[in-house]
Structures are given as structure tokens and as C-alpha cells.
Structure 1
Amino acid sequence: MMVLQDNTLARMDLADAVAGIADDIRYDDNGTPIGFAAKVEDVTWLFDSVSHETAYRILDEAGNVVLQSGTGKSVWPENEASLNLTRGRFDFEYDGITMHGATEPVIHNGKIWYLQLTASTRFMELMHRHIALPLVGAGVTLFSVVLLLAFGLFAYITLRYTLRPLKDISQSASTISPYSLDVRLPVKGVPTELTPLVNSFNQALERLEYGYRVQQEFLATAAHELKTPLALIRAQLELMPDTEQRNWLLHDVRYMSRQVQQLLLLAEASERLNYKFIKVDVTEIAAEVVAYLQRMADNEQVKLRLERHIASLILQADKGALFTLLKNLLENAIQHSPAGSVVSVDVFSDSIVVRDHGPGVNDAQLLQLFKRFWRSEQRRDSGAGLGLTICREIALAHEWSLIASKMEPGLQFRLSFSLD
């Protein structure tokens, strides 16, 4: 603001203008200035049209005027001594108006000439504040918009390129589950700034995997170590006389043995390395499960019905795990079905549906079905509450979907397969 107020910028432009015009002076054969080059002559009319506001002249070494604008005599001061013929800026008064001028020495053929330009303060303010500055402002605005668009495009491309590894890392992290704890996030191609974060995350995964493995090994080891003592206790009890106390003890031992067996199955189902994937026919395994549980159904006076809606369904799966999954679902249905009812097993092209006609569950219980050690009040046996949990673990390991739905009456489980 200070520069604009005291016309410093305008006076500097006047000095630059006189220096630029000095190179375009035309001379006659005697080396005397007679005019300007064409590009300057095109604007010299300005000095005649605004005669009291601006003018130019060329002086010799003695200060004599050899060339000037048509009305120059009325602008330049009569006291020539007041003008210093040296390169630089100067000021003088004309008719109460402050005039600003600039001198530029020019050497031609060994002679020195002095080119002077002058302009009034108000003329310079008009040119700078009302003409030049708006044009400059418009130019700056246009340049800023172009620069902003260019910078925005550059920033978008740069950020997209820079954040692409982070997107890949996020996708890799989203696939990590208890069945793939051995997977680590890739470090190759990751920006240097993100490498410490990725390494720290991988170290956390290593600690998590170690803790999970220790827990699973402890569970499996404890269950395995309990099997032998329980078998010995059961054998000793069976040799005892047939009494009510003996029968109760045998019942408790059978309950504990079933819990131990379920814990072993859960430990195995939770560890993906225990699975051996081969091509299996789901319809044949479903038939084997129905045949295996037929005696149990007969004891409970429940009818089993197998419906094959497809001739065969070949999948990549662990045969033993699939057998256990279907067996647990069917056992659960039999144990909750009233005498005389039907438990149906329907094999479709993309799923297996197990349906019973028992008392079912309410909305709150539906959310608890797959939790460990949860048992329904209507259950007739003394199970460990791990059967459906094992089913869920096996389904997750195979990337299948197992969903329970309320029916009227009863409960339905749908096991949907991934057919990619």
C-alpha cells in the first residue's frame, strides 16, 4: 500500500520505459536523432493527445533539444539548469501539477544523447490504478485459477499414486482372520514413511499368532490328556455293582468325555492347517450322516428325511470336517424335535438346509446359538454346548455361510457354499 500511495512503482516503470525506448531511437546520416522505430512510433501519438500530462524529448551533450513531442515546449520547464542530465529520475512542477521524469543517456557513433520522458502524477495514477492494476489483477486471478487447477490435478495424481500402497495394505489387512494369522502385510513398494507402521503391525500379528497357537495347543493338549483318565474311570465304574450311585457317576463321566471330545474337535476346527481339502460329493456325505444318525433318531422317535434336489454336488472341502458339521446340525435338530416329528435335510445346488419342527428359539436366543457353551433350555441331552460353535468354525474355514432362521414351528439352518 505504501508503494502504491507514493507512486514509487509508477516512477520505476517510467525509468524502465525510458531505458527501453532508448534502444529504438532512429538517427539520420549525421547521427542526429530523428524519431523512433516503428513499434515506438505507433504509440507516440499519446504524447501529442495528452499534451499536458506526458511528453518526451532528446537532448545533446550541451542540453539542447534536438527532438521532442509536438507539445513538449508547454510541459518542460524553462529553467534547463534545473534538469540533471544523468541517468535517473527527477521531478518538477508544471502549472501546479507534479511531473515525474526519467533520463536515459544514449551513445551513438561516439556522441552522447539524453532521452527524457515525463508524465504527471494523475496520469500515472490513471494508468496504474485504473488500467494497469485491474489488468494485472485479472491476470493474477486467471493465473491463480489455472495454477490451482494444475496443482489440484497434480496433487490428486500424486496422492493417488502415493496412497495406492496404503490401499493395497488395507485390503491385505482386511483378509486376515484367525484362519490366516500367518499372513503378513507386504512391505515391498510401501512408502518409506509407512514402513515402520507396517513393520509394527506385522510384529503385532506375530505376537497374536503366537498367543493364538499357544491357546489352541493348550486346549488340545488338555483335552487329550483328559481322555485317558476318563476312559480309565469309566472302565472302573462299569466293573462296580449296578447301583444308583454308579449310574450317576457313569452319566457324569460320559458328559465329561463328550465335553473333552468336543473341545478336541473345536481345537481342530479352529486351526486351518488341520484341514485337508479334496474334491468331495456333498450329497453322498449328507446321505452318510443321515444313515449314521438313524439309530439316534429312532431312539428319539424322530423321522429323518433326506431330499436330494441335485444328483451330485462336488466341492473342495475337508471330508471329515464336512461330515462333523452336518452331523452336529442333524444331532441338534433331533435333540430339539418332539417325538413323531420330521427332521428334513435338503441338498440344493448351492446349499444344504436342515429343518426341525421343535419349539424353536426366540430372537434373543437366536443370537446366542453359535456361542461357546451356550445350551438351550429345551435340549434333552447333556451336551457341552459346543456343537454349533464347531459348525461355525468349520464353515468359516471353508469360507462358507451358516445361517440360523426361525420357522413356524422349529428352526432352520442353511449352509451356503462358495461356488467360485
Structure 2
Amino acid sequence: MRRRAGAVLRRLARDPRVAALGERLALHSVRTRTTIAACVGVTLVLLAASATVLLLLRVNLERTVETGAREQAQAVARLAGEGHLPPLLPLDHGTDFIQVTDASGIVLASSQNLAGRPALTPTDTEDGHDSYDVLALGDEHHQRVATLTAPTPTGPATIRVGASLRTADTAEDLTAAALAAMSGILLLTVGVLTWRATGRALRPVEAIRTEVAEISDRDLARRVPVPRSDDEIAQLARTMNAMLERLEASGARQRRFIADASHELRSPLAVLRTQLEVALTHPDVEVRHELVSGALQDTGRLQDIAADLLLLARLDAGTDRPNQPVDLAEIVMTAEARSSRVHPVELDIASRISVDGDPRWLGRLLTNLLDNAQRHARHKVTVRLRQDASTGEAVLDVVNDGPPIAVADRERIFERFTRLDDARSRDEGGTGLGLSIARDIAAIHGGSLTVPDSPEGTTFRTRLPASPPTGEAAGPAR
């Protein structure tokens, strides 16, 4: 029998439905803790309310009993004062006894149940009321005794009227039982409703958790369910989906970047290997020299690609915004002096503008833009530096008079390894990473890099937050 019971318990423990129920009933569960908190709160409120009701009921009932006893004592006092006090006094409804004594303690009159008995004496005091030993009346219950002293023709007399609290005790007991029953029902109702409401509210959260737990790094296209209710949980679901979209887009960019990088590296590596293999076996010294020179050029191109990839990796890793004061006019003049001289560069520097940043990275940004402009310009390249009067930003324009870029391609050119004219860019030494690096540098400095409409050809506009000026106006434009 014990073995069978143990087997049944083990099967129940392995049942997923039982396990799920156990998780919901666990004390660390939000549903359980919320239900317990609601029940405890309601219990405290009910206890306080019930105690208040019982206290008020008791006070009102005792006050009513005492008022009735005092009224009957006053009626007996009037009879005693008029000298019409009979030896036996009738009892009103709710009155247990009446006893009238003179100053020496002799009983002058009493109710029928105290006839022939000596004067009552108090035994102790409870709650400000005298307690009398009236067990001889045959029924033990709470009483309130009204004591009154009244003048009579023969001298002062003390009148004691005992009123029963049996009705008050019964009403208090019934009320306490009713409050206990109602409190139990209310507490059970609150617990059930809280449990069900919390479960219903947390059901979408559980659905979101289950879906997220099943999403792997290769299945980022899945989305969590969004509840129909426009509440905080729906906002959480939409936020989770937005995060999954960003992760999916980031994963897609990384895969595309790896594929493009592999492709970009494979081509020069294949050419380099071919050149070296031919140079190794070719008998002509001049041909071998020419092949080795080409291999050196391809090696340099590989070094450029590796350096750009390393810089992009550093930019992608994230870094604090540089805060070194940098004179943009000085950066422009230095970059112009170092750039290639395929086409002349015209500088238009309105004033010296200082920004917070890294001079090496800002120099790399301008160098990349100048190299790109030199490759695509027809006759000249123009660099303009000014400060936007409305926003206070530093605006750096690099303009080439070559063919304009189509509106549809103005964002695509900033993607990595993107070339609108692939063959010409390869021949002229472009890696397809310069514009992407320039935009990332601008973003790290809190700025932007865009291609606005321009009648002069193609303009690359960099906007950077300007700091207070560091010098006087620059000399005349060159």
C-alpha cells in the first residue's frame, strides 16, 4: 500500500501540470504574494472594523440598560419621597432586582426575589461600576446596578436597581458571530478574486516570458504576443518587440558586414597569391619585379582594409564622448594640406569654431570626406566651415563638383562596403568603409553626417555641437 502511494506521489511530482501549479503557489510567485498581501490587508481592516462595531454596539446597549435602570430608580425615589413606598416593588422588563435601604442598612422595600434578604453590599469595582453578589437570584449574567439616594419622610434612603445585560450579551454574541461569518466569506471572496485577477493580468507576461525563452540568436524574427489591452503589459510587449527588431537588424548588419569583409579580403588575397605564384615561377626579372610591385600595392590595400575594420570595431564597441577642445579650422587646414592633390581644394572658413572631441578622429572624418570628394570631383573640391546661427552648431561642408548622388542612395552610401560605382572605386583605391567611419565618428561626437540637396554637385554636411570659441576669426579664405 505504501509503495503504491509512493508511486502515485512520484507520478504526480513528474506531472507538468502539477509542477506548474506548484510554481504558481510558491511563495516567491507574484501571484501568491499579491493574494497573500490582499488577504492580510483585508483581514486587518475587517478586524479593526469588527472591533469598532462591537465596541459601539456594547456601549450603546449598556447605556440603554443603565438608562432604564436609572429611570426605574427615579420612579422608586419619587414613591419613597412621597411616603408611598410599598414593601414589595414590581420589576420592569429587563430589571433583575430592586432594593431600598435606610441609612443604617435596614431594607425598607425590595422586589419579590429579594424579599427577606439582607442589604446587598458591593464586592469589588469593575470598569467604574460596583459589582454585587446576586448569585442567589439563580441566574448568573452581567448586570448594571443603578444606585440613587433619595430623601424620605423618615430620612435618606438608598435605592439600588439591577438591570440585566443578558440581552446586550446575546446581541453582542450574535453580532460577533455574524461579523465572523461575513468576514470569512469576504476574505475568501477577496482571495479568490485577487488570485484570478492576478493570474489573468500575469497571463500575458507569462506568454511573453515563454516566447522570449524560446527565441534563440538564430530565430530573432519571432515576436512576443501583444495583449489587446493598452496597458503597461502591452507597452512591455511592444518594447520587447522593438528590442527584438533592433537585435535582428543588428544581427543582419553583422552578418552582412562579415560577408562583405570576407568578400573584400578574399579578392585582394586571391590576386596577391596569384601574383606571388607567377612571380615565383616567371623567368623574366622585370616581370617578376612588376608582379611584386603589384603584390605590394595589394598588401597596402589589405592593410588599409584591416585598419578600417579595426577602427569600425572600436567605434562599434562604444566609447565615452571625447571632450578635448578642438579647433575645427586647424583640423580643416591640416587635413587639406595632407590630402591628395588630384583636384584643388578651396577653403571657406568663416570663423574659428571650437568643438569638444578627439582631434585624431575628427581629422580622420575630414580626411575620409576629402578623399571621397577627390575621387568623385570633376574640377575642384570646396570645404566650408561656419556656425549655424539658429542652433549654434558647427557646420562643416565638403563639396565636390562631380555628379550628384540620387536621393535613394544618400543613405545607402553610408553602409559599409557600399560602392555606387564598384569598379571605379576599386581602381581608385576605395575600400567602401570611409563614409561609414566618418558618420560613426560624427555620431560619437554628438553630431550627424548627411547629404543635403546642393546645386554645386555633392555636399557632405557634418554638424557638431560647438563649444565657446577659442580664438579670433581666421584669415582670408584660400
TM-score, with length taken from structure 2? 0.40
Task: Identify, as 1 or 2, the structure richer in helix.
Answer: 2
Normalised TM-score (structure 1): 0.44
